[in-house]
Structure 1
Amino acid sequence: MRFQRIVDLLAVAALALLGLSAYLTWVSADPGNGRKAVVFTGYTITKAPVTLALAGVVAIVVTKLAGTVLRRVLGGLVALLGVAAVAVSLGVRPDGPELSRLRPELSEAVTDQVRQSLGPAPWFALAGGVALAAAGLIAVLTAQRWRRPTERYERDPAAAPADQWKAIDAGEDPTL
């Protein structure tokens, strides 16, 4: 039960960090010559971190409804989504031509040199990817220890169906 909470907390932290990376500065570009610097948020550069975070959280929610084997499969998928988020955070570094495609005022035809500086968003995406990968690995390694979701609602096998109908007629819940 404790491992389920750890996985849940890591998944929520990953969602928060990867979601935050979409709104923070990924790259800022200064075209020089007194022109205003252009700021690119994470969502402008790539939509992958947010998409990976949402897919990971959905997979974690589904693990609560699944059996042990499916939990392990989904945990492996979540770990792969985390690794993909780490790869995106480390690999997505737009260059001058790509930035000028996004914003024409950064084109070499308009300015001689564009100075770029990296913002904090890739670091948030990196931390979120690591948290998502950790959640997936913990889910894979501890899937057999998780509580089954339907234990509370299963009926008593010793009770006859007629006894259950009598309990319902009396206003009692036979699943408790």
Structure 2
Amino acid sequence: MKNRNQTIFFAMTAILLLPVAPWAMEIRQELYEFQMHITKTTTSTTFVIKDSTKVNKSPAENVHLAMIPFELGSAVLSPIAAQRFLADMQNHGITHHTPLVITGYSCELGSEQYNFMLSRQRGLAVVHFLQSQGYTVTTLQAKGEMNPITTNPEELFKNRRVEITTK
């Protein structure tokens, strides 16, 4: 009985560990609406969502918009912040066809891995919102604790942000 169970266990393990056939990978990739390239460094991750060379560029180039603040440990985009940065985008002449770069950050509270993941979730929240409004987001960057605005413990809320720039 023990040998039979071991044989079944080893057979199942071997089946699960077999490499995935290339045609299966192609089928899986065809299910996605866009191709995403990931460039990973030790301090940040960049997701290229759409090739910006194929996007019509508007006259507004390299514009740094107001930062979008987030609560401690949260990746929820508040409706007030969303409306404020939409108005800021309109004031800068950004159209739905302007390629946008979204960069998420976090403060230094918590582990480095948690903050990195939280900065990515914050960026994704803004990407999803902008895409639902019809805007073109070409790049999402997660920076974690990098580039803090302040190190003053009373002002760490300034580091919990997402920045939007044009490409």
Give the TM interval when normalised to the shorter protein: under 0.3
> TM (normalized to structure 2)?
0.24
Larger Rg: 1
Structure number with the higher strand fraction is 2
> TM (normalized to structure 1)?
0.22
Higher RCO, Cα 8 Å, sep 6+: 1
Structure number with the higher helix fraction is 1
